[in-house]
């Protein structure tokens, strides 16, 4: 399995879980603070991915022969 496929599978899994919680089924009542964090979760994950990418590029540049 390629890295792209791994990332896409993980993204699809997280996206479907987020959508299931964000659409709030009838029986599920989330407290307001949890709902606010849940709605901003994609932004948090995008920032975390950017930090990971910058750290990886920086480390590989620092250890380049």
- Residue 27 is predicted with a pLDDT of 79
Each residue's pLDDT tens digit in the chain (65 positions)?
899 999 999 999 999 999 888 887 777 888 888 888 888 988 998 999 999 999 999 999 999 98
Note whether 51 and 20 are within 8 A (CB): no
SS3 of residue 26 by DSSP = coil
Backbone φ, ψ for residue 60 (5° rounding): -70, -30
Q: pTM of this prediction? A: 0.68
- Residue 48 is predicted with a pLDDT of 96
Residue 14's nearest CA partner among 61, 36, 55, 46 is: 46
- Contacts for 35 with CB less than 8 Å, ≥ 6 apart: 24
Q: In the chain, where are the structural domains located?
A: 2-63
- Residue 43 is predicted with a pLDDT of 93
Q: Which residue has the tokens 């994950």?
A: 45
């Amino acid at each position: 399995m390629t890295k792209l496929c791994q990332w896409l599978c993980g993204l699809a899994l997280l996206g479907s879980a987020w959508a299931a919680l964000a659409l709030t089924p009838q029986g599920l009542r989330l407290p307001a603070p949890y709902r606010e964090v849940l709605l901003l979760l994609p932004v948090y994950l995008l920032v975390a991915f950017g930090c990971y990418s910058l750290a990886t590029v920086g480390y590989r540049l620092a250890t380049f022969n």
